[in-house]
Amino acid sequence: MSMPERIGTIREAINEALREEMRRDERIFLMGEDIGLAGGVFKVTAGLQEEFGPERVRDTPIAEAGIVGLAVGAAMTGARPIVEIMFNDFTTLASDQIVNQAAKLRYMTAGQCKVPMVIRTGMGAGRRAAAQHSQSLHAWFCHIPGLKVVLPSTPADAKGLLKSAIRDDNPVMVLEDKMMYGQEGPIPEGDYTVPLGQAKIHRKGTDATVICTSSMLYPSLEAAERLAEEGVDVTVIDPRTISPLDEEALVNSAVETGRVLVVDEGYESFGVTAEIAARVQEKAFYYLDAPVRRLGAADVPVPFAPSLEDLTIPSADQIAGIIREMME
Amino acid sequence: MSMPERIGTIREAINEALREEMRRDERIFLMGEDIGLAGGVFKVTAGLQEEFGPERVRDTPIAEAGIVGLAVGAAMTGARPIVEIMFNDFTTLASDQIVNQAAKLRYMTAGQCKVPMVIRTGMGAGRRAAAQHSQSLHAWFCHIPGLKVVLPSTPADAKGLLKSAIRDDNPVMVLEDKMMYGQEGPIPEGDYTVPLGQAKIHRKGTDATVICTSSMLYPSLEAAERLAEEGVDVTVIDPRTISPLDEEALVNSAVETGRVLVVDEGYESFGVTAEIAARVQEKAFYYLDAPVRRLGAADVPVPFAPSLEDLTIPSADQIAGIIREMME
Amino acid sequence: MATNTQESSRQVDRRSLPLDLLLDMYRRMVTIRRFEETVYDVYSRGIMPGLAHLYTGMEAVAVGVCMTLRKQDNITSTHRGHGHLLAKGGDPRRMFAELLGKATGYNRGKGGSMHIVDMSLGILGANGIVGGGLGIATGAALSAKLMNEDRISVAFFGDGALNEGLFYEAANMASLWKLPVVYVMENNHYGEYTTTAKSTAGTGPARAEAMAIPATTVDGNDVLAVYEAVTRATGRARAGEGPSFVECVTYRWRGHHMGDQGDTYGYRTQEEIESWKKKCPILRLRTYLIGEGLTGEDTLRQIDSEAQQRIDEAVEYAKTSPYPDPSEVFEHVYA
Amino acid sequence: MATNTQESSRQVDRRSLPLDLLLDMYRRMVTIRRFEETVYDVYSRGIMPGLAHLYTGMEAVAVGVCMTLRKQDNITSTHRGHGHLLAKGGDPRRMFAELLGKATGYNRGKGGSMHIVDMSLGILGANGIVGGGLGIATGAALSAKLMNEDRISVAFFGDGALNEGLFYEAANMASLWKLPVVYVMENNHYGEYTTTAKSTAGTGPARAEAMAIPATTVDGNDVLAVYEAVTRATGRARAGEGPSFVECVTYRWRGHHMGDQGDTYGYRTQEEIESWKKKCPILRLRTYLIGEGLTGEDTLRQIDSEAQQRIDEAVEYAKTSPYPDPSEVFEHVYA
Ligand SMILES: Cc1ncc(C[n+]2csc(CCOP(=O)(O)OP(=O)(O)O)c2C)c(N)n1
Ligand SMILES: Cc1ncc(C[n+]2csc(CCOP(=O)(O)OP(=O)(O)O)c2C)c(N)n1
Ligand SMILES: [Mg+2]
Ligand SMILES: [Mg+2]
């Protein structure tokens, strides 16, 4: 890709994608709590109300179910709403509207309507925000047919995937790791899109594959570096879109290396790592040298104390440790 | 077990468990929509308001989040509420109260309080009730640390598991397949309990294992019968409690037979079959003769038309077909 | 949908309503009645799958409301949706086909009774979630305002739905943002088997007024009273003055759904049902039309039999239609 | 918690309040103020992890309410919970230890600022979900009624929380079932950076009254006015007459949370903040006590310095306490 790039943060990348898309398409509007005047609690929407006005960058009351409900109705009638739900934990308040309305309307009506909307929300632990402000509940959304689920891990992907999500005619959940808003990297300028449903190989190795999502990319890359020093050559691959999943890319890598570890920041049990592991073992069974391993967040509500919280989040140490076990 | 038994339906078994437990413990009360005067839309609570009065068998307004919210507060302060949420689909309206409050309070407070409550809800397709009245969202609850998740498949289990759930000091989700309320079988009389977290082997074979939940027991047993005629000897095992999972029993069976199919009525992707498959392949990897296979409900919102709906629910045909494939 | 003439004035004098409008009201009410009673028959004969919540007895609400609307205006309906759809112009053939799970149904059999949509008529859907349409209707009003489109929304919902939190979240935004939406509460005295008195503290109109939304209560069995009140409400919406709330007091003659017909479950008496049957909204309009000398028995009987014929044709159409192809099960999950 | 004496009479004449009660109010308000301002300092020095939402300026609400309560009465609090906990008798040492994530904290460091619970004092928890405690408080009132226990509930919540649907679902049941609960709305004019005028159509009291819940608005910076109004409300609750709603109008001096202190984000002016500082609730009680000749400067200064000392000790206690053992991460998931 020969697009001009600049270095910027994920926060900036998202802001840029929103701005460019809103300029491109008048039907797009944003709604959420404190996204306008205050620019969002994570400052992701800063400056947008100034450019697009309070109608299109709309501060709402604190009413998550209502916000999503209005977005569904607006999307059905030709608008293209982008909703911000501040913390992923709060999407539980809008579950009915997401699951029973947004996700199902197209199918239930046999295609008579579409619901082109995006819900952006902040996932991830690490901010010492405790159990009600730290969850990564993307497995929930992935389980629901009719939703697409996107987890960017780099500024470029944050921009490119969000643009694709906005242009998609389905409800798309975009989960942004709150610890990564300041993550820097190249951001392609202009109309840069990343298609939904395409994994990205960040590092190519021959001995093992780490499939990792969102912020788990970074400890995975770090573990891969360390293992490289030990002579273990690791592929690191990020599905980027979790639903629909780029199964082919993941299985191909499993076939190549024969060893797979899946890393994700949702609770480990009944989470995203389970689905990926189950698919990989099924499709690559005869090529595997070891069982597919998984590493998710600890199966506990996220504790506040930093000394405890850090233990719940998958680390480079753990990742490297598991790969070493698998190499035995 | 030498307890006297009688033949009855799952509906009766649940009713009996509720009645006996309410007689035993005055702190127990029921709340839900139309559970009292009308005895519940599935008649599961019939007669209970007559015996225990409208205070302890409490008809509520239509307000799922409020109902669960009140139950959490009542449970924290010494009562033992049992909530009925009519259809599993409607638990989405109470997700915040279930996930962020009920499930997390004990952990967040380091054990200062407990939340002994049961939420009973009807899951499952097959009633031609369409996409908003047919879901099986137990994978969601299983994903949340702090919740226990129980899916009975026989009248005896329905009674015994519900009693254990009621006596448990944690929030327990009990999902009852709506198609099974009329399912008959022996019901042990009196104080019969089934411990949470114990799988049950319904049929023991040597060639393959079918791990199945809730109503999937019946097509699984039927498939096993058919396969037996073909000389394929199948174990059928029901975890009964999905969280916590009786991993040992499942893995042991996998080790014995070397072939495992997991069947569950939740959406297949990112559902319960994934977790079980992922654990089994990891723990029994070196004993497996084939990849662990999965069969869930089709990844589509449940359609209304009977001719389509039936295609979404795992069938004995499909189960037998997959086992045959695995035997090749 | 030819009743656009009232848009300028919000005060309706029933004596000034044109006869063709009145006859259209009558026709729609009878069509709904015949549709629902035919569903009752067909269902009772065991050839209809799933659930069906009948609107019999409540016809004046849907018709009184929808006659104030234009084609491009949006409605959201409920689990008890047949009346709303027919009043807004829905095609009984495609409705009946949907109820039988046929490929010619509105939703190709995928939705059934609780999910019928007709985007060309602004019908954003019946809904299986009590109160589930309240956000959608309000959102449709928001998009109209944002995109400067000349349409308004009506959300139908029941007395039971009033207690779901979503109403307050959505209506508060509608009030704050002066969205063109009318909340029509169908108070039929019960949510399933629970009386309003046992489910609702205070009243719907008071709750709306507390969010600065003008509210009124009307006799929901008097189609002209409904029409009058809603004309004021839609007038406000069209003029950019924001949401309104109209409570229509009515009664359902049949059980909560087809499964409990005939069974009073101890929640209401046969006498109560009979007393409301005496207040039949169709009979009432009929009596008015004849009593005022606006039309004759013959005309009305003619309408009656045309309606019956239309429904009979719909049933025939539905019965002879094919089921969807098995392959359709995987279609339409995504756009 | 010795203020049970008011239970029989619901009318409070501030001139008849015993001096020790008044001094206790003063002590608690000062304790809250010192606690919060110390949090401000400690946080600003970067030694406190996570979020902290300060109650500075709002002390009269928590204290006016909690002084009407007994030990066994329950409260639910909010993300801005320190004031409620201290007013209900919470231990500043265990609170501060919790804020620093220490094993000696109320929640052994697992909860932090937004999740402190003290079951022995009936404190059912701060809450990180806006409005999240409204169901819990109502449920505690339900269990009291069901189990015939002599206790009532108070739910604190903000003007922003008023727009979450849960309030209507819970309060409706409280009203229908005459549950012993008092809803205390802390109207500090903002939810984060959004003014009440932009978030709320109508008012809290009107919304409560629409559910047949008696409601009143008081000056939330006048601890005696709060005490008077809430005494009437708790009296109703104790007498089995059902829920009440009290709106307390007040203001937070600090930013929404520690992260945005000093920054007005354009949502309010420095002048506005200054004008409210002039209405300081502590100063107001102080002036009353001295003006009425009920006590002297010395007594109050003594209280001030004792409060400061108590908080300093709490900080010291917290700082020198150990972190929880890593093994605790897997404890307490289940009972
Ligand atoms: C969220 C939700 N809760 C419960 C139900 C079950 N249910 C279906 S209809 C109904 C009663 C609705 O009462 P009301 O709103 O008054 O409408 P009516 O049936 O009287 O027309 C209930 C409880 C549901 N469909 N959705
Ligand atoms: C369900 C939910 N939505 C949003 C938030 C983010 N949030 C935290 S505090 C707050 C403002 C609350 O305002 P108010 O209820 O007036 O309380 P105040 O902060 O003014 O004391 C918001 C939006 C949250 N914690 N929970
Ligand atoms: Mg009703
Ligand atoms: Mg506030």
Supply angle C-alpha C132, C137, C142, rounded to 5: 130
The CA distance from A308 to B182, in Å, is 48
Q: Does a structural domain hold residue C158?
A: yes
- In the predicted structure, residue D4 carries a pLDDT above the cut 60: no
Nearest one of D230, D79, B135 to A86, comparing CA atoms: D79
Shortest Cα distance from A254 to chain B (angstroms)? 14
Q: Does a structural domain hold residue D264?
A: yes
Mean pLDDT score of chain B = 98
From residue D314, alpha-carbon distances to A100, A128, D100, D327 in Å are 49, 21, 11, 26
Give the strands of the sheet with A241-243, arranged side by side.
A57-59, A28-32, A80-87, A118-123, A172-177, A148-150, A241-243
Residues D287, D289, D292, D296: is their CA dihedral positive or negative? Answer: negative
Residues of C in contact with B129 (CB under 8 A): 50-51, 112, 128
> pLDDT-based confidence at C10, cuts 50/70/90?
confident
What is residue B57's predicted lDDT score, i.e. its pLDDT? 98
**Mean pLDDT within B219-247:** 98
Q: CB contacts < 8 Å between A and B, how many?
A: 151
Q: Which domain holds residue D86?
A: 18-318
Residues of A in contact with C141 (CB under 8 A): 73
Residues of A in contact with D128 (CB under 8 A): 89, 129-133
Pick the residue with more confidence: D2 or C268? C268
- In the predicted structure, residue B269 carries a pLDDT above the cut 70: yes
Strands A234-238 and A200-203 come out as antiparallel
- In the predicted structure, residue B124 carries a pLDDT above the cut 90: yes
What is residue C1's predicted lDDT score, i.e. its pLDDT? 35
> pLDDT-based confidence at C6, cuts 50/70/90?
very low
Shortest Cα distance from A274 to chain B (angstroms)? 5
Q: Does a structural domain hold residue D35?
A: yes
Residues of D in contact with C203 (CB under 8 A): 210
Q: Quick one: how far is CA A283 from the chain centroid?
A: 24
CA of D191 from ligand 2 middle (Å) equals 6
* Cα nearest neighbour of D214 on chain C: C202
Q: Quick one: how far is CA C10 from the chain centroid?
A: 21
What is residue B3's predicted lDDT score, i.e. its pLDDT? 78
Q: Does a structural domain hold residue C72?
A: yes
**Mean pLDDT within C246-260:** 94
Answer yes or no: B133 catalytic: yes
- In the predicted structure, residue B300 carries a pLDDT above the cut 50: yes
Answer yes or no: A64 catalytic: yes
- Whether A50 contacts chain B with CB within 8 A: no
Residues 185-214 of A with CB under 8 A from B: none
The whole model's pTM is what? 0.98
Question: Inter-chain contact D191–A62, Cβ cutoff 8 Å?
Answer: yes
- Whether A131 contacts chain B with CB within 8 A: yes
Query: Who among C163, C266, C324 is closest to B62 (CB)?
Result: C163
Chain D residues whose C-beta is within 8 A of a chain C C-beta are 163-169, 172, 175-176, 198-203, 206-207, 209-213
Convert the pLDDT of each residue in D54-106 to its tens digit: 999 999 999 999 999 999 999 999 999 999 999 999 999 999 999 999 999 99
Rg of chain C taking only CA atoms, in angstroms: 19
Rg of chain A taking only CA atoms, in angstroms: 19
The verdict on the CB of residue A62 being under 6 Å from ligand 2 is yes
- Whether A109 contacts chain B with CB within 8 A: no
Question: Inter-chain contact D124–B146, Cβ cutoff 8 Å?
Answer: no
Residues of B in contact with D155 (CB under 8 A): none
Give SS3 for C277: helix
- In the predicted structure, residue D166 carries a pLDDT above the cut 50: yes
Convert the pLDDT of each residue in A290-299 to its tens digit: 999 999 999 9
- In the predicted structure, residue C9 carries a pLDDT above the cut 70: no
- Whether A325 contacts chain B with CB within 8 A: no
User: Of all residues in chain A, what percent carry a pLDDT higher than 70?
Assistant: 99
Q: Which atom of ligand 2 is nearest to the CA of D130?
A: 26
Marked catalytic residue, from A20, A21, A33, A64: A64
> pLDDT-based confidence at D1, cuts 50/70/90?
very low
The number of C-alpha atoms within 13 Å of A101 and in the hemisphere containing its C-beta is 37
Q: What domains are defined for chain B? A: 5-188 (3.40.50.970), 200-327 (3.40.50.920)
What is residue D5's predicted lDDT score, i.e. its pLDDT? 42
The CATH number assigned to the domain holding D190 equals 3.40.50.970
Preferred mutation among D107, D113, D130 to probe A, highest tally of A CBs within 10 A:
D130
Convert the pLDDT of each residue in D266-315 to its tens digit: 899 999 999 999 999 999 999 999 999 999 999 999 999 999 999 999 99
CA of C189 from ligand 3 middle (Å) equals 5
CB A143 within 8 A of CB A198: no
Marked catalytic residue, from B64, B176, B268, B275: B64
Preferred mutation among C134, C163, C167 to probe D, highest tally of D CBs within 10 A:
C163
Q: Does a structural domain hold residue C327?
A: no
Strands B234-238 and B200-203 come out as antiparallel
What is residue C4's predicted lDDT score, i.e. its pLDDT? 41
CB A272 within 8 A of CB A264: yes
Give SS3 for B306: helix
- Whether B93 contacts chain C with CB within 8 A: yes
Alpha carbon nearest to ligand 2 atom 11, residue: D191
The number of C-alpha atoms within 13 Å of D60 and in the hemisphere containing its C-beta is 29
- Whether B109 contacts chain A with CB within 8 A: no
E strands present in chain D: 74-76, 153-158, 181-187, 190-191, 194-195, 215-219, 244-249
- In the predicted structure, residue B228 carries a pLDDT above the cut 50: yes
Nearest one of A308, B121, B154, C163 to D49, comparing CA atoms: A308
What is residue D261's predicted lDDT score, i.e. its pLDDT? 66
**Residue labelled with tokens 């084939």:** B290
Query: Who among A26, A55, A110 is closest to C110 (CB)?
Result: A110
Residues 127-186 of D with CB under 8 A from B: 127-129, 132, 134-147, 149, 153, 165-166, 168-170, 172-173, 176
- In the predicted structure, residue A152 carries a pLDDT above the cut 80: yes
Domain count, chain C: 1
Q: Which residues line ligand 1 at a C-beta cut-off of 6 Å? A: B 33, 62, 64, 86, 90, 93; C 79-80, 128-130, 158-161, 186, 188, 190-192, 256
ipTM strictly over 0.90?
yes
Nearest one of D271, D60, D239, D224 to D152, comparing CA atoms: D239
The CA distance from B89 to A96, in Å, is 8
Mean pLDDT score of chain D = 95
Residues of A in contact with D101 (CB under 8 A): 128, 304-308
Rg of chain B taking only CA atoms, in angstroms: 19
What is residue D9's predicted lDDT score, i.e. its pLDDT? 59
Kindly give the residue spans of alpha helices, DSSP state H, lying in chain A: 10-24, 48-56, 64-76, 95, 105-108, 138-142, 155-167, 217-229, 247-257, 272-284, 306-312, 316-327
What is residue D263's predicted lDDT score, i.e. its pLDDT? 62
- Whether C89 contacts chain A with CB within 8 A: no
What is residue C3's predicted lDDT score, i.e. its pLDDT? 41
Alpha carbon nearest to ligand 2 atom 8, residue: D130
Query: Who among C201, C206, C211 is closest to D172 (CB)?
Result: C201
Q: Does a structural domain hold residue D310?
A: yes
